[in-house]
Chains A and B, each alone.
Chain A
Amino acid sequence: MKTSSPQSTLLLSKWKRIRKQYQLYLFLFPTILFFIVFHYIPMYGVTIAFKNFMASKGIMGSPWVGFEHFERFFSSYKFSTVMWNTLIINLYELIIAFPIPIIMALLLNQVANARFKKLVQTVTYAPHFISVVVIVGMLYLFLSPRNGLLNQLIVWFGGEPVFFMASAEWFKTIFVFSGVWQNAGWSMIIYLAALTAVSPDLHEAAVVDGASKFQRILHIDLPSLLPTIMILLILNIGSFMAVGFEKIYLMQNPLNIGSSEVIQTYVYQTGLLSAQYSYSAAVGLFNSVINFILLVGFNQLAKSLKQASLW
């Protein structure tokens, strides 16, 4: 090795460093190429939202039409339904599905018996590995008006069977709670990990002062989780308009469409099934932009509250 002692690596000029580390650039090359092709080219491709896409002319050659597609979306009769469903489903999910893993982690953290703790964890995050297709298949089975378990229970208690999967009123609730069933245990892991970092001294001191377990959860554990909660909340809000598209699409049918049509399923419907590429790309872009604004805005807000931020 003629070049250098380790310290001088840092002092080498940029170009020398690049030459010296060319193998690392080769490592990075395929991935960067991948991101450029599969993420950045589609970002450019979004310009078709401002054009009238014609397959024969390609994205570049199609004529510009400005905001025509956006205007069409905003004035379409679908707009209010689609926006409303998207917002409500996500808000519902945020209110129900977000806090549950936190509560579960706080409670599980109080369990002294290590084997029981492990058991609860193993069991509760198992459903995370089941595919959405199977989850929705299970929903159809368990909620079937003909022989589904839940309806049998309802009938047994003297009620009338409810056709859950075909009812617009039930759609959002089924969507959110089946999501909790599948993912709460999994989301809990990160909070449990954060709780292991809480200093035992704090708890000991609190015990000496006569604090009950519940008080310690409230005044020691919960505050120590706050930064983690904030980060996850920001991330959640950053994908506010995007969650659960695959599952919503699978759960959707003509009978519940009134409450299950969200922006993304609408994009899929108009874009891929009816081939209105430009219009659908405009709707999709509108969605991404709102998402991005929410993310940046909320991150800023969190920063100013001095809790946590992503950047």
Chain B
Amino acid sequence: MTIKAHAKDRWFDFLNYSFLTLLMLIVLYPLYVIVISSVSDPNSVNAGQVWLLPKGFTLEGYERIFQDERIWRGYSNSLLYTSLGTAINVVLTLTAGYALSRNIVGRNWFMFLIVFTMFFGGGLIPSYLLIKELGMYNTIWSQVIPTAVGAWNIIITRTFFAQTIPNELHEAAEMDGCSDAVFFWKIVLPLSTPIIAVMVLFSAVGHWNSYFQALIYLREEALYPLQIVLREILIVNETQENALTAAQSDSEMLRIVDVMKYGIIIVACLPVLVLYPFLQRYFVKGVMIGSIKG
């Protein structure tokens, strides 16, 4: 069946494609400028000559970054917090999500207990006092335990299990004398790679990008994750600089920080950027599972 396309539709398509292309450019251009500025001569960057192509190619910024001890330490701390935090997160989310997908006594009650926390909480101060009282203040644990598992992820995981693991499968396994734990380990997990990937990614990106937990619970510089170091270089420094007049500020110091800024953004985003093409489809999947009412 062919019907002559609506005359207005050609206009619509033209405008639509143009608009979406423009949208992509708006999103991409700032990222592109960061990349080319990071390898350009800092003087050209400062003079505002870097628009379309790198100017006066140099890797000085990156050299500075690799010499900076804070960044290395932040990087390794972030890696530690991310891997530990993700491991805890994924294990708790999957086990709880699975248990709640099964018909256990008190399931609705447990669900309510979990979901309620999405809408109401004690707030910053009581949480802060709790962490202090538990002796987690200024330790690694403050970075991974308070965010150990989230209500939303449990809902997504539960929905996934409920939809993909048919009850019959469990009944058959039960007949063969398989316990719940063995069933989970041997049958459920191998069937659940998509949700495991989604949870690993959500949680890893979340930990990698988080700074607020560190801001409130860490005092010692040696424990600072990358985001706190970034904040100092990209934001605090900039604010201080704004408060000073040009004459007051140490111009060489200023230059070094400027050179580093673009590169450090790239270095900080690198792990996520490298993984992005692989992550993407899982992320979309995660959001879609989450959107299905369960």
Residues of A within 8 A of B (CB): 1, 6, 9-10, 14, 17-18, 21, 23-28, 30-32, 34-46, 48, 53, 58-59, 104, 107-108, 110-111, 116, 119-127, 129-134, 136-138, 140-142, 144, 146-147, 149, 152, 163, 165-166, 181, 185-186, 189-190, 193-194, 207-208, 210-214, 228, 238, 246, 249-250, 253-255, 264, 267-268, 271-272, 277, 280-281, 284-285, 287-288, 291-292, 295
Contact = CB atoms under 8 A, between A and B. Distances in A.
Contact of B12 (A38, A110, A166, A280): A110
B113 A27 contact: no
B127 A38 contact: yes
Interface in B270-284: 272, 276, 279-280, 283-284
Given A38-B146, A214-B12, A23 B180 contact: yes
Contacts of B16: 107, 110-111
28 contacts: A1-B174, A9-B174, A21-B104, A21-B105, A26-B181, A27-B99, A32-B110, A38-B148, A46-B123, A48-B126, A110-B16, A111-B16, A129-B279, A131-B269, A133-B230, A134-B269, A137-B233, A149-B33, A250-B235, A264-B124, A271-B124, A271-B125, A272-B216, A277-B125, A280-B124, A280-B125, A281-B123, A284-B125
Contacts of A120: 20, 23-24
A130 B175 contact: no
Given A41-B122, A142-B33, A295-B119, 18 more contacts: A9-B174, A27-B98, A27-B99, A28-B104, A31-B95, A38-B146, A40-B117, A43-B122, A107-B19, A108-B20, A125-B280, A126-B31, A131-B209, A131-B230, A137-B238, A141-B34, A181-B26, A246-B212
A165 B209 CA distance: 22
B92 interface: yes
A42 B123 contact: yes
Nearest to A253: B239
Given A110-B16, A111-B17, A228-B291, A214 B171 contact: no
B253 to A, nearest CB: 15
A227 to B, nearest CB: 9
A46 B110 contact: no
A213 B12 contact: yes
B47 interface: yes
B265 A138 contact: yes
Q: Which 8 A-B pairs rank lowest in CB-CB distance, beginning with the nearest?
A: A42-B122, A137-B234, A45-B126, A284-B123, A131-B209, A31-B96, A42-B126, A27-B95
B53 interface: no
A147 B48 contact: yes
A130 B266 CA distance: 10
A106 to B, nearest CB: 10
B177 interface: yes
A42 B6 contact: no
B186 interface: no
A163 B3 CA distance: 56
Is chain B's binding surface mostly helix, strand, loop or mixed?
helix
B46 interface: yes
B13 interface: yes
Interface of B: 3, 6, 8-9, 12-13, 16-17, 19-20, 23-24, 26-28, 30-31, 33-34, 45-48, 92-93, 95-96, 98-100, 102-105, 110, 113-114, 117, 119-130, 133, 145-146, 148-149, 154, 171, 174-177, 179-181, 184, 205, 208-212, 216, 227, 230-231, 233-235, 238-239, 242-243, 261-262, 265, 268-269, 272, 276, 279-280, 283-284, 287-288, 290-291
A247 B83 CA distance: 25
Given A107-B16, A142-B30, A137 B45 contact: no
A30 to B, nearest CB: 6
A134 B125 contact: no
Given A28-B96, A136-B235, A1 B175 contact: yes
Contacts of A129: 205, 209, 269, 272, 276, 279
A268 B242 contact: no
Contacts of B99: 24-25, 27-28
Contact of A116 (B17, B110, B145): B17
Given A24-B99, A120-B20, A127-B31, A39 B92 contact: no
A74 B48 CA distance: 48
A208 B4 CA distance: 10
